[in-house]
């Protein structure tokens, strides 16, 4: 490559923030549909929302918040030149991601066993509004789950770089951006959780 | 590290890798720009062929060369190819990449490897779309808008095509955030915001639209896939969905997307007009500001595609009003270009002819857009050939001709050689004539009530359809002459110096073709982009 790597800390951060905006807007489309259909079918949405298990949702919220805290601490650890601690903290974040996905798996399989999934015969007999609620639920949490997996993979890759010393006290923008992405995954869940599990 | 070269190597020769790898894995913005140029332009030619087939089919009533199912697939693929594979990525990807970093005095874009990834995503998406044409249920037949419920039910290969467009969407997002970061961070010393060439300003506005609008397209396409694969029923009234919501989501992206298509074209025109009028641009700040205003206001007008879809009358009036608002910044640009010409020393070289054509055709297209944007007249011409004529005036007469202008203006810079002037002008005459015969006739047909996308039509529309088809042939002949002349010139034509046109922007201060590092030393900018006085330019 004829161009030596250009190190521009502010540029890298700016690019990452722009990317985070696009992620928010991606989910924005789903939230938009949610709000319109909620206004069409407030009663059906409430009935459907009560069928979701708020315990799973609450535990997962706490798991994700903890994971975000650990990711933020990993950044601070690298800033303080403690790379070993940072790797352990990132491992904690990734473990939280695994717990989140495991709980999600249990939750989804229970729902599917009860015949609640898109286009299911059970939902076909439900009043209009409920099938849409559950389709939105599956698509939104599904795409969010995909983001959790991608985020965990990225943090794992970054943890390897922290371990090998490529990310260090003098150059940690990669870790910072990875943590920012993880906070976004967390943030989106903070909106999904009340909308689907709590307020209805 | 650049100063050690006394004679700088052109980016054509300076390769770290060998053969095709030096291109498809290059992170050099000029090489990526050329990759984009040839891939997008290749798809443009595919789209032209499909368009010619549509016109041949419509030449006479009844079956001419293809059956109705094929016709549906052909106009769908024409739209998908032209919009997603050519006009959206072409300007930022090709000329944005080739020229913009040089214009701001940078060595490359902010994220060169991300830039390469963008091109790869584009190619992967294009490959998926091409695969969708020949596998499964065959080419999509929904129209490029993929409207539900038909797109959720048709047996053709919509899922795969939509997935391809989804991937290309990512490519656009990455290009957008790369350009915004580049323009914020990598301007050379003295390249203040007030000295940015207007092409850069237009790319900046475009990049914001790419960043803010494309994710909505992505999620909408995911929803179509969910409808088809999971049977999600998000837009199925029987389950509580609303098909009109699909149209809202689709146009929330796809209307701003037309500004992704037109804004860079306006930027090129703003760069070309002053150079060939030998006058500074009139109203620099207003043109720069109007790009941002178009990007902002253009995000609020999507509903004007849906006046007959069953929205409330209030919504129709609001969207109609906002549509008229967005015409203001567009008109500001047109008036400023025309004022730049006033008392200029105009030379009618090929880039200038194409640029002037842009002003005329874009104005016709823009004004017919207001006929469509007015709630009352819209009902009359909605979904007729008037609409087809309108957006081809804006997109082909506007962006297409600006793209040809940019090809004549900037490709000699990249190749170091130029085309012959006379054949370029002959080609322009043919294209201009053919274009107007083709699309003005369409607008007349639409006013008379000929619907768009219909396979067959009433006999009274036959004469004008024949005229339009003949126009398409004249246009195609002009296009062929233009391409032969342009590319023969680029490979074998007369060599040019640094500054064949007498431009004052930075790309004309470096050798043609540009060296790998663009500038021997980081430039210090001391004058504005259209400041021809005191720059030593004759």
Range B244-265 average pLDDT: 94
pLDDT band at A39 (very low <50, low <70, confident <90, very high): very high
Residue A124 reports pLDDT greater than 90: no
Q: Cα(B518)–Cα(B502) distance, rounded to whole angstroms?
A: 19
Nearest Cα residue to B356 out of B345, B346, B366: B346
Residue B536 reports pLDDT greater than 80: no
pLDDT band at A4 (very low <50, low <70, confident <90, very high): very low
Q: What percent of chain B has pLDDT over 90?
A: 91
B184 to A131: CB separation less than 8 angstroms, yes or no:
no
B239 to A128: CB separation less than 8 angstroms, yes or no:
yes
Range B384-388 average pLDDT: 96
Q: Nearest CA of chain A to the CA of B463: how many Å?
A: 46
Q: What domains does chain A contain, in order, with CATH numbers?
A: 24-198 (1.20.120.80)
pLDDT at B264: 96
**Residue of B239, B243, B252, B256 to mutate when probing chain A, most A C-beta within 10 A:** B239
B211 to A27: CB separation less than 8 angstroms, yes or no:
no
Q: Nearest CA of chain A to the CA of B234: how many Å?
A: 6
- Judging contacts by C-beta atoms under 8 Å, the chain A residues touching residue B252 are 29
pLDDT at B533: 77
A135: nearest CA partner in chain B:
B232
pLDDT in tens, B45-79: 999 999 999 999 999 999 999 999 999 999 999 99
Report CA-CA distances (Å) from B334 to B49, B310, B358, B417.
32, 34, 10, 31
Q: Nearest CA of chain A to the CA of B470: how many Å?
A: 44
Range B290-317 average pLDDT: 93
Considering CB atoms only, which of A33, A40, A143 is closest to B234?
A33
pLDDT band at B1 (very low <50, low <70, confident <90, very high): very low
The answer to whether the beta carbons of residues A64 and A192 sit under 8 Å apart is no
A38: nearest CA partner in chain B:
B240
B181 to A3: CB separation less than 8 angstroms, yes or no:
no
| Residue ranges of A 21-80 with Cβ closer than 8 A to chain B | 21-30, 32-33, 36-37, 40-41, 44
Range B131-152 average pLDDT: 92
Mean pLDDT of chain B: 93
pLDDT at B470: 97
- Judging contacts by C-beta atoms under 8 Å, the chain B residues touching residue A145 are none
pLDDT in tens, B494-533: 999 999 999 999 999 999 999 999 999 889 998 889 988 7
| ipTM (interface predicted TM) | 0.92
Q: Nearest CA of chain A to the CA of B439: how many Å?
A: 35
pLDDT in tens, A127-164: 999 999 999 999 999 999 999 999 999 999 999 999 99
Range B193-204 average pLDDT: 96
Range B334-357 average pLDDT: 96
Q: Cα(A9)–Cα(A172) distance, rounded to whole angstroms?
A: 9
pLDDT band at B9 (very low <50, low <70, confident <90, very high): confident
Q: Cα(B42)–Cα(B53) distance, rounded to whole angstroms?
A: 17
Q: Nearest CA of chain B to the CA of A96: how many Å?
A: 27
pLDDT band at B15 (very low <50, low <70, confident <90, very high): low
* Burial (Cβ within 10 Å: 0-12, 13-18, ≥19) of residue B45: middle
Mean pLDDT of chain A: 93
pLDDT band at A1 (very low <50, low <70, confident <90, very high): very low
Higher-confidence residue of B123 and B311: namely B123
A22 to B240: CB separation less than 8 angstroms, yes or no:
no
Among 1.10.287.370, 3.40.50.300, 1.20.120.10, 1.20.210.10, name the CATH number for the domain at B30-491. 1.20.210.10
- Judging contacts by C-beta atoms under 8 Å, the chain B residues touching residue A146 are none
What are the CB-based long-range contacts (under 8 Å, 24+) for A74-82? A74/A162, A74/A175, A74/A179, A75/A172, A75/A175, A75/A176, A75/A179, A78/A162, A78/A167, A78/A168, A78/A169, A78/A172, A78/A175, A79/A169, A79/A172, A80/A169, A81/A168, A81/A169
- Judging contacts by C-beta atoms under 8 Å, the chain A residues touching residue B16 are 1-2
pLDDT band at B409 (very low <50, low <70, confident <90, very high): very high
Q: CB contact, 8 Å: A194 with chain B?
A: no
Range A4-32 average pLDDT: 89
Size of interface A-B (CB pairs under 8 A): 128
Range B179-183 average pLDDT: 97
Residue B537 reports pLDDT greater than 90: no
A2 to B233: CB separation less than 8 angstroms, yes or no:
no
Q: CB contact, 8 Å: A121 with chain B?
A: no
Q: Omega before B260 cis (within 30°)? A: no
B219 to A30: CB separation less than 8 angstroms, yes or no:
yes
Considering CB atoms only, which of A4, A21, A29 is closest to B211?
A21
Q: What percent of chain B has pLDDT over 70?
A: 97
pLDDT in tens, A47-59: 999 999 999 999 9
* φ/ψ bin of B180: left (φ > 0), alpha (ψ from -120 to 50), beta (otherwise): alpha
Residue B5 reports pLDDT greater than 50: no
What pTM, to 2 d.p., does this model score?
0.94
Question: What six digits make up the tokens of B369?
Answer: 């857009």
DSSP string of B318-383, one letter each residue = HHHHHHHHHHHHHHHHHHHHHHHHTT------HHHHHHHHHHHHHHHHHHHHHHHHSHHHHHHHTT
Q: Nearest CA of chain B to the CA of A43: how many Å?
A: 12
- Judging contacts by C-beta atoms under 8 Å, the chain A residues touching residue B228 are none
Considering CB atoms only, which of B211, B222, B241 is closest to A132?
B241
């Amino acid at each position: 490559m004829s161009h030596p790597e250009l190190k521009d800390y502010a540029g890298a951060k700016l690019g990452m923030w722009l990317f985070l905006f696009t992620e928010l807007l991606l989910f924005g489309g789903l939230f938009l549909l949610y709000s319109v259909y909620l206004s069409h079918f407030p009663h059906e949405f409430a009935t459907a929302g009560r069928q979701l298990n708020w315990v799973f949702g609450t535990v997962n919220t706490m798991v994700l918040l903890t994971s975000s805290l650990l990711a933020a601490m990993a950044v601070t650890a690298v800033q303080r030149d403690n790379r070993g601690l940072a790797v352990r903290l990132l491992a904690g974040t990734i473990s939280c991601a695994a717990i989140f996905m495991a709980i999600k798996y249990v939750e989804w399989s229970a729902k599917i066993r009860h015949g609640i999934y898109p286009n299911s015969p059970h939902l076909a007999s439900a009043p209009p509004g409920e099938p849409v609620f559950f389709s939105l639920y599956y698509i939104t949490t599904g795409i969010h789950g995909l983001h959790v997996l991608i985020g965990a993979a990225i943090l794992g890759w970054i943890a390897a770089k922290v371990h090998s010393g490529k990310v260090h006290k003098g150059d940690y923008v990669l870790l910072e951006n990875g943590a920012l992405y993880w906070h976004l995954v967390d943030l989106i869940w903070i909106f999904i959780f009340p909308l689907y599990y709590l307020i209805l | 590290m650049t100063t050690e070269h006394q004679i700088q190597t052109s980016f054509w020769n300076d390769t770290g890798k060998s053969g095709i790898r030096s291109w498809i894995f290059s992170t050099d913005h000029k090489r990526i720009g050329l990759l984009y140029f040839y891939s997008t332009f290749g798809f443009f030619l595919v789209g032209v062929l499909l368009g010619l087939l549509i016109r041949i089919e419509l030449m006479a009533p009844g079956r001419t060369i293809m059956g109705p199912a094929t016709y549906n697939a052909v106009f769908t693929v024409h739209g998908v190819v032209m919009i997603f594979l050519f006009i959206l990525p072409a300007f930022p990807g090709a000329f944005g990449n080739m020229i913009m970093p040089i214009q701001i005095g940078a060595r490359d874009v902010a994220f060169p490897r991300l830039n390469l990834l963008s091109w790869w995503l584009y190619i992967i998406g294009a490959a998926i779309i091409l695969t969708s044409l020949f596998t499964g249920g065959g080419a999509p037949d929904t129209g490029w808008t993929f409207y539900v419920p038909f797109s959720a039910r048709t047996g053709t290969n919509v899922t795969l095509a939509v997935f391809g467009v989804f991937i290309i969407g990512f490519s656009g997002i990455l290009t957008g955030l790369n350009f915004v970061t580049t323009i914020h961070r990598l301007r050379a010393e003295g390249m203040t915001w007030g000295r940015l060439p207007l092409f850069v300003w237009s790319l900046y506005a475009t990049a914001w639209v790419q960043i803010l609008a494309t994710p909505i397209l992505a999620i909408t396409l995911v929803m179509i896939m969910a409808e088809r694969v999971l049977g999600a029923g998000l837009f199925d009234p029987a389950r509580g969905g609303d098909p009109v919501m699909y149209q809202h989501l689709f146009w929330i992206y796809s209307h701003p997307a037309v500004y992704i298509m037109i804004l860079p074209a306006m930027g090129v025109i703003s760069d070309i007009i002053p150079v060939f009028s030998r006058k500074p641009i009139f109203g620099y700040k207003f043109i720069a500001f109007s790009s941002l205003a178009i990007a902002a206001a253009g995000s609020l007008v999507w509903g004007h595609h849906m006046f007959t879809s069953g929205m409330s009358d209030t919504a129709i009036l609001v969207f109609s009003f906002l549509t008229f608002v967005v015409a203001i910044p567009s008109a500001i640009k047109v008036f400023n270009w025309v004022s730049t010409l006033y008392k200029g020393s105009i030379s009618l070289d090929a880039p200038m002819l194409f640029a002037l054509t842009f002003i005329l055709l874009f104005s016709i297209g823009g004004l017919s857009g207001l006929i469509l944007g007015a709630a009352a007249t819209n009902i009359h011409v909605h979904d007729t050939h008037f609409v087809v004529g309108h957006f081809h005036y804006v997109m082909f007469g506007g962006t297409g001709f600006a793209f040809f202008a940019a090809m004549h203006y900037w490709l000699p810079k990249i190749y170091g050689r130029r085309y012959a002037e006379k054949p370029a002008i002959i080609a322009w005459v043919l294209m201009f004539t053919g274009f107007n015969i083709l699309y003005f006739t369409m607008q007349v047909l639409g006013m008379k009530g000929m619907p768009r996308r219909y396979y067959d039509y009433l006999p009274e529309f036959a004469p004008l359809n024949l005229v339009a088809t003949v126009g398409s042939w004249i246009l195609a002949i002009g296009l062929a002459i233009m391409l032969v002349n342009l590319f023969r010139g680029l490979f074998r034509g007369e060599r040019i110096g640094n500054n064949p046109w007498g431009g004052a922007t930075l790309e004309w201060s470096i050798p043609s073709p540009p060296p790998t590092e663009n500038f021997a030393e980081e430039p210090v900018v001391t004058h504005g982009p259209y400041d021809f006085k005191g720059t030593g330019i004759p």
